[in-house]
Structure 1
Amino acid sequence: MIESAVELWRDIIGKRNFDEKYYDFKEADLIKDRLRLPKDKSILKGLKKLNISLEEFIEVFFEANSSYTAMMNDLLNMFQEIGAKQTDVNLEISFEFDKNQPLTIDINNFKKQIERWKLIEKEVLISGATDIREYHRITGELLELNFPIQLNDNEREYNDFIIDLETTDDNEFNELIDKWKIFLNNFVQEVMKYGTDKASLAASSRKVKNNVHIELGIDRWPYQIHSQLQQITIKFDTLGTKNQQYIIKILDGFLNNIGVQITTIKERVKILDDYLELPFWKKRYELYSVWIFSQIYDVIKEHNHQVHVLDGKLSFPFKETHLATIYSDNNKNIYIYCEKRTPINNPIGSGRTKNIQPDYSFYQEPLSNVNSSILEIECKQYKKPNNDSFAKALIDYSNGRPKSQVFLVNHGEMKASNVISKAEKLESNFKKERCQLFSSIYANSTELYTFRSSIKGILFDNKVFSQSSNIEIQLIWAKEPQDLDLSVRCLDINNNTMGTVSYKNKNFEGMTFDTDIRTGSGPEEISLIAQENYTYVVQVENFSKEIPLIKSEAKVEISVNGQSIKQFDINSNDIETVFWKVCTMKTIFLDEEKLYLTWQD
C-alpha cells in the first residue's frame, strides 16, 4: 500500500509512463511550482526534502494534468457530434496504436472514462468555499484555548508565506491538518490572482466587488488561523485527550462548514492507480495527433462536410485513410486524409527513404496529383525539441507537396526562426514562404486560436489572383470620431517591419495612401501591388477620440481589382483601445503568375 508522496511518485515515473524531463516537462514544472519544490532538482528529490503530504501531492498532480482532461473532453465533444450526425447507433472509435491490438471503444464507454476522470478531479481538488463568519468563529474558539494569533510582520506578501505544520502522533488530527494545508495552498493561489499584498488586494477590491477571497486576503484571516494551528501542532501531543478531541471537533467542523470535501487517502490512491492503468493514459502521446484532428474538425464543422464513418465505426488506423470531405458549391471539394503516402526523390529526414506520409493532408481533385495538395499538417511530440528533425520534415514535406502550405505542429516549445535557419542551411532552395510552425499546441493553449485561424485561412478564406492585381483597403465609419486613421504595416518573412504606409508616409514598396479624412465618415484608402512573401498588418487608430473607437461603426473592406472579397466590422463588445488591429494579410507567390492571398482577423 502506497503511504507517502515519495512512494506514489516513484510508482508514477516507474510504471505509469510519466516523463518529467521531456514529454511531461510542463506538467512537472507546474507540480514543482505548486508544491514549492526546488526548480533545479527532480520532483523525487524535492519530495524527499520537503514533507509533502500524499493528499496534497495527488491534488496537485491532477491539477498539473488538467490539459489531458481538456484534450479528452475535446475528443469526446467531436465524437459525440460526429456520432449524432453520421449514425443512429452508438458510435465506435478505433485507434490502431498497436497494429496487432487496435483499441476500440464505443462512445458511451469513452464518455464514462472521461466523466470518471472529472469525478476524481472533483474529489481531489478541494473546493474551500469561503464564509467569513466561520473564520471569526474558529479564531475565537482557539483564542479561548490560549492559542493567540501570531503573524510575522516581515512576511507581508502571500508568495513569501511558508505553509509548514508539525506532524503529531494523532492520525485523525494529522488528516485534518493535511486538509487544511491543501485548502490554504489553494486559497493562496486564488488570492494571488488579485494581488500579493494588502495594497494590491485593496486595489483589486475596488474593481472586483464582493469577492470573499480578496476580503479574506486583505485581513489575512486564513493566516491568522494558520498561526494558531502552528502552535497547536507543536503542543498537541501534550494537551491531554479532552483538549485534543475538542480541537479536532472545532477544526473538523470548520473545514466542513467552509465546504472542504474529502475522500479517504486510500480511495484516492486506488482511483488514481486504476486510472493510470487505462490505455488512454498510457497512449496519451500517440493520442495527440488524433486530438489535432479534433481542432481541424472545429474549423470544418460549420461548413458542408462529412466525416467518413464506416458501419458505425470511426477509425484512426495510422495508415492512409480518407477521414473527411468538405463539400464546395464550385465543385472544388477538399478531401482530408491521414497518413497519405506519396513518393519523393531523395528525402533527407530520418526514417524516410522513398515516401512522405504527413499526419493530415488536404487535397483537391485530381487526388492522384501531389500538386493538388493545399495543406499538410505534421504533428510532433518529440521527447526533446530537435531543430534538425523539424527542419528536415519541413524540407521533405514542402518538396513532396510542391504547391501546398506545410504546418508543423509541436506539443512543446519550438523556436521557429531557429528551425527555418536550419532548413535554409540544409537546402539552399528551401521554400520557407510555404511553411508555418506552431509551438506549444495543446488543449487550452493560448496558441490554439492562431493555429485554428490559420487552418481556416487556408481552407476557406484564401483567394488566388494574378500577381499584378491591385488590392484596395478601404475604411469607412460614422460621423464621429472625426479623425480615424488607416495604416498598413509591411513585414518580411521573418516578421521584421519593413515600413508603414499611413497619412504620415504615403508611399512604400508598391503601397499608396490616398486621402487623410479629418471630418468623419471617410473613406480612407490604401492600395497596393503585393510583394512576394510579405505580410501586411492592417490597423485603424482613433486619432481625434471624441467617442470610443468601438462606437465608431468602423468597417474595413478589402477588394481585389474592384471586387470586394472581405469585410471587417469593429466589434462593439471588444475592449476599448485607441487601436484596432483589423487583420493580418499574407501573400504567397505560387508560380510566375499566380498570387495566393490569405488573412487572419
Structure 2
Amino acid sequence: MPNAFSVHQTAAQAWEALLAHGGLEPAGRDREFVDKLLSLLAPQADDIDTALTNSSTDRFVQCFFQSMQQFTEMFRAILDYYQAAGARRGRQQLNISIEEAHLEFKDFEDFIQLWNDVPGDLEVPLVDQSTMSVHRVAFEAVPGLPSKTYKAVRGEICTGDPQVDAWLERYRDGHFSPVPPSLWLEQQQHGYKQLAAIGVAAVETILEIATSRSELWEHVPAARIEECDSFSVAHLRLLETDSWLGTMVAGLALARDLDEDERDRIGDILIDRLAGLPLRKIRTQVSFGDLQKFLSLPVWKKRHELYAVWIFTELLEAADHHDLRLHHDNGRITFQFRETLLASIVSARPNLDMITERKTPLDDPVGKGRTGNVQPDYSVWENGRLANKRCILVVEVKHYKRTANRSFADVLTDYAAAHPDAKVVLVNYGPIGDILDRLPFTAKWRCSVVENLTPLSALERERFRYIVRGVLGEPYRPAPAVDQSRHARTAIAVDVSGSMSEVLTDPKLEQVIATLAVGPVANELYPIDSRIHDPIPIDQSSRLAQLARDINSLAIPVSQLLGTYEKIFVLTDHDGLRDLADLGGVVEALPLTGMFKVSICQ
C-alpha cells in the first residue's frame, strides 16, 4: 500500500479531508477518538490543531490508523459472533438491522479484510494501561527475581550480559537508547515473545520524541496522562517514574539464568495475561487512500450505533458457558426501537430470553422524558411455565463522553423500580462517576455501573461479564442416564417442606418411590421446597427427612425441572397441591400415605 500523497501535503489538510469524508464529529461523539489521536500524535500539544501543525502527514496517517483500532475490534467481535451463530443456524446471510440501515456480514468482512491487509513489521498485544506492567507480575513467580531486577537497574549487580549492563548504565544516567537487539530476538518462548514486542514498541515510541528522561519530562506534560492510549508516550512517561522499561530489560536478561521450571512459571503468567488479546500493528505501510477506504465503508458510518450491538455480544460472551439460541426474523437481526427477542439461554432453569427494547409499566418515573413505562436496551426474562415471568437482568447502554450524574441516576432508579427482581446495570463508553449514592436505598444494592467499557478495556469487560454471569448462574446438567445407553425422560421430585416432615419418615414412602422408579426414570430423586436441593440416589430416600424444614413453594422448582425432563412425578401433600395448581398436572391420591402423586408434563 503506497505512502505517496499527491493531494494533501500537510497533516492539517489530510485531517480536514478525513473530517469531511468520514463524517467525524470531533466536538461531539468522536471527541474520545480525537483525544486518543492526540495522545498518540503529540500529547504535549494543547489541541489537535496544534498537534497537526507540528506533525508530518505520514505520522498523522499512522496515528489515525492506530486510533481506529477500538472500532476495528468492535466490528470484529460482532462479525465473529454472528458468523458463528449464522453457521449454527444454517443461515449464512444473516444481516443486522439498525436505525433503518441493514448491515450484511460482508460489510463487516470488508472492513476487517481491509484492516488485515495493511502490512505491519511488528504486531504487539494491545494491552490496556493496567496490563502494561505484566512483566512485574510475571517476575514475582520466581522468588528473589524482582529484587535482583531492581538491583540490576540500580547498578548494584550485573545481569551477566555486558551489552545489557551498558544499556542499564546509560538508563540510570537518564538516557534512552535502543535496547541490544539480541535481548529481544532471543525471546522466542511463547509469552516472552509477546512481552519483547511490547518492549520494542515502547522504546521506539519514546525515542521518537526524546532521548533522555529530562527531555521526555519536558516535552510530555503529566496532566494529559489519564486519557492516553496505553502505548502513547504520555502513558510511557508515567510508567517511567518507576523504571518500567529498565525493570523489563533487566528482568529478561536475568531470566536467562533461571532453570526451565522457573522460566515456565513466568511464561505461563505472560501467556495468561497476553494470549488472545487483539494485536496492534507497528510500523505499518498505510496510506491516506487506505484511510479514505475505511471511512467510506457502511460499518464505519454506523460505528456509534453499533456500540450497543457490541454490548449485546459482550452479554453473549458472558453467557458463553450456557447453551445459546440466537433468534432472527427471516435472516434479519433487529436492533431498533421496538421489542425484539434476540437470544434464548436454553441451559438455564427456567430458560431465559434476552430481549431488546421491552417496555415495562412504571407509575411516576423520575427520569426526564419517561412517561408511564421504561424501555431498557436489554433485559433478560425467565421463560418458564408460570404466568408471572420475572425480569432478572437489565442492561442500559450509554455512549457518552462525559458523565451525566442526574440522568444516569434517574435511569437506575426507574429501571430498578420497574423491575423489582432484577439486577440493573448501566454501562457507558465514557465515565459514569459515583452515582450509586444518589439512588433510593431499596434500589442501590441491585444496581451496578461499568464505565469506560470499550473493546480495548480488558478490566472493564471482565467486570461486566462477571456481573452478568453472577445473575445467569451455572447451566443445568443434562438429565442423568437411566443406563449406559438411555437418558431419563422422567424424574421424581419429593416435597421436603415442613408440612411433609411426618410423611417423609413413613417407611411406606420407600415403597411408593420404588414403584415409580421403573422405566425411563432418572436414578436420582430431587428434593424440592422453595428450590431444588442436591439430588440423592433413589435407594437413599431415607435422607429426605433430614431436609424437612422449609416452607413449600413448589411451582418454581418443578418448572425448572421441566426444562430438563419431559415429565415430573411430584410427591406432595395438600399444601403442595395448592402450589402446583397452575401447572395443570394429573393428581392421584396415594392411599394410607397422606400423599398425592402429581404427574406434570412439559
- TM bin, normalised by shorter chain, reads 0.5 to 0.7
Is the 1:158–1:192 contact (alpha carbons within 8 Å) kept by the matching residues of 2?
A: no
CA distance in 1, matches of 2:448, 2:210: 53
Structure-to-structure mapping, 1:79-94, within 5 angstroms: 79-87=82-90, 89-94=91-96
Correspondence for 2:14? 8
User: Which of the two has greater strand per residue?
Assistant: 1
The answer on 1:354 being equivalent to 2:353 is: no
CA distance in 2, matches of 1:9, 1:439: 29
Correspondence for 1:32? 38
1:196–1:93 Cα change, 3 Å: same
Correspondence for 1:422? 438
CA distance in 1, matches of 2:298, 2:415: 31
CA distance in 2, matches of 1:191, 1:388: 32
User: Which of the two has greater helix per residue?
Assistant: 2
Structure-to-structure mapping, 1:125-204, within 5 angstroms: 155-156=212-213, 159-160=216-217, 196=240, 201=245, 203-204=247-248
CA distance in 2, matches of 1:380, 1:187: 26
CA distance in 1, matches of 2:352, 2:67: 38
Residue in structure 2 matching 1:205, options 239, 244, 249: 249
Provide structure 1 residue ranges, at least 5 long, that are not aligned to the other structure.
134-151, 164-185, 212-258, 464-559, 566-593, 595-601
Correspondence for 1:391? 409
The answer on 1:412 being equivalent to 2:418 is: no
Q: Any idea what SS the aligned residue of 2:117 has?
A: helix
AA of the residue aligned to 1:453 = Y
Correspondence for 1:577? none
Q: Any idea what SS the aligned residue of 2:432 has?
A: coil
Give the CA deviation at 1:282: 1.9
Q: Summarize deviations over 1:223-278 as a string: whole Å, max 9, x none.
A: xxxxxxxxxxxxxxxxxxxxxxxxxxxxxxxxxxxx99665xxx721221122122
Correspondence for 1:110? 108
The answer on 1:268 being equivalent to 2:284 is: no
Q: Summarize deviations over 1:507-548 as a string: whole Å, max 9, x none.
A: xxxxxxxxxxxxxxxxxxxxxxxxxxxxxxxxxxxxxxxxxx
Structure-to-structure mapping, 1:121-520, within 5 angstroms: 122=120, 155-156=212-213, 159-160=216-217, 196=240, 201=245, 203-209=247-253, 263=285, 268-328=287-347, 330=349, 332-365=350-383, 372-415=390-433, 417=434, 419-424=435-440, 431-445=443-457, 446-461=459-474
Give the structure-2-normalised TM-score.
Answer: 0.53
Give the CA deviation at 1:66: 1.6
Q: Any idea what SS the aligned residue of 2:308 has?
A: helix
Residue in structure 1 matching 2:50, options 42, 45, 52: 45
CA distance in 2, matches of 1:197, 1:373: 49
Is the 2:21–2:296 contact (alpha carbons within 8 Å) kept by the matching residues of 1?
A: no
Give the CA deviation at 1:441: 0.7
1:381–1:368 Cα change, 3 Å: farther
1:158–1:462 Cα change, 3 Å: farther
CA distance in 2, matches of 1:276, 1:313: 25
Q: Any idea what SS the aligned residue of 1:208 has?
A: helix
Structure-to-structure mapping, 1:55-66, within 5 angstroms: 55-66=58-69
1:396–1:6 Cα change, 3 Å: same
The worse-fitting range, judged by mean Cα deviation, of 194-203 and 304-313 is: 194-203
CA distance in 1, matches of 2:322, 2:211: 60
Give the CA deviation at 1:375: 0.5
1:76–1:193 Cα change, 3 Å: farther
Q: Summarize deviations over 1:375-403 as a string: whole Å, max 9, x none.
A: 11100112532111111111111111122
Is the 2:351–2:383 contact (alpha carbons within 8 Å) kept by the matching residues of 1?
A: yes
CA distance in 1, matches of 2:179, 2:243: 21
Q: Any idea what SS the aligned residue of 1:104 has?
A: strand
1:433–1:329 Cα change, 3 Å: closer
CA distance in 2, matches of 1:13, 1:277: 12
Is the 1:338–1:361 contact (alpha carbons within 8 Å) kept by the matching residues of 2?
A: yes
Number of aligned positions between the proteins: 365
Provide structure 2 residue ranges, at least 5 long, that are not aligned to the other structure.
1-6, 126-177, 183-208, 221-229, 256-280, 477-529, 536-555, 557-602
Is the 2:367–2:414 contact (alpha carbons within 8 Å) kept by the matching residues of 1?
A: yes
CA distance in 1, matches of 2:414, 2:385: 19
CA distance in 1, matches of 2:409, 2:61: 39
Give the CA deviation at 1:118: 3.3
The answer on 1:68 being equivalent to 2:71 is: yes
Is the 1:23–1:384 contact (alpha carbons within 8 Å) kept by the matching residues of 2?
A: no
The answer on 1:23 being equivalent to 2:40 is: no
Give the CA deviation at 1:304: 2.0
Give the CA deviation at 1:316: 2.7
Is the 1:58–1:124 contact (alpha carbons within 8 Å) kept by the matching residues of 2?
A: no
CA distance in 2, matches of 1:200, 1:384: 31
CA distance in 2, matches of 1:188, 1:413: 20
Of structures 1 and 2, the one scoring higher in RCO (CA 8 A, sep 6+) is 2
CA distance in 2, matches of 1:359, 1:57: 37
Give the structure-1-normalised TM-score.
Answer: 0.53
CA distance in 1, matches of 2:369, 2:395: 18
Give the CA deviation at 1:70: 1.2
Is the 2:402–2:431 contact (alpha carbons within 8 Å) kept by the matching residues of 1?
A: no
Give the CA deviation at 1:325: 0.9
AA of the residue aligned to 1:376 = V
The worse-fitting range, judged by mean Cα deviation, of 332-341 and 65-74 is: 65-74
1:198–1:438 Cα change, 3 Å: closer
Give the CA deviation at 1:341: 1.5
How many percent identity over aligned positions?
A: 25
Give the CA deviation at 1:80: 1.7
CA distance in 1, matches of 2:29, 2:86: 32
Q: Summarize deviations over 1:168-205 as a string: whole Å, max 9, x none.
A: xxxxxxxxxxxxxxxxxx99969959985998755433
Is the 1:62–1:121 contact (alpha carbons within 8 Å) kept by the matching residues of 2?
A: no
Give the CA deviation at 1:5: 1.0
Give the CA deviation at 1:33: 2.4
CA RMSD of aligned residues (A): 4.4
CA distance in 2, matches of 1:21, 1:153: 31
AA of the residue aligned to 2:94 = E
Correspondence for 2:573? none
